[in-house]
């Protein structure tokens, strides 16, 4: 895995709201920081990477090539469908 460079994070990710924080009653934290979107095509659920990590929603998937692994996250609904 490569380090995260905050200046390289797309600005629109800071405009998303973490649904995990929101569900847990942390509304003030839900709109703070950058969020990623569920890796399931068409799903718009957004969450902080650390929230997904604590919830066990991050995983590794095989990418294009034998040694290429993609680290991704899913919302609770789509993770349960894997």
Query: Per-residue pLDDT tens for 2-53?
Result: 677 888 999 999 999 999 999 999 988 999 999 999 999 999 999 999 999 9
Q: How far is CA 51 from CA 34, 48, 75, 76, in A?
A: 11, 5, 11, 11
Give the span between the Cα atoms of 10 and 34, in whole angstroms: 9
Reported as a single tens digit per residue, the pLDDT across 15-25 is 999 999 999 99
């Amino acid at each position: 895995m490569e380090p995260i460079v905050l200046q390289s994070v797309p600005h629109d990710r800071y405009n998303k709201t973490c649904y995990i924080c929101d569900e847990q009653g942390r509304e003030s934290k839900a709109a703070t920081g950058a969020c990623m979107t569920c890796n399931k095509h068409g799903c718009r659920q957004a969450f902080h990477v650390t929230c997904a990590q604590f919830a066990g929603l991050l995983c590794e998937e095989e990418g294009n090539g034998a040694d290429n692994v993609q680290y991704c996250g899913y919302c609770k609904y789509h993770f349960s469908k894997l």
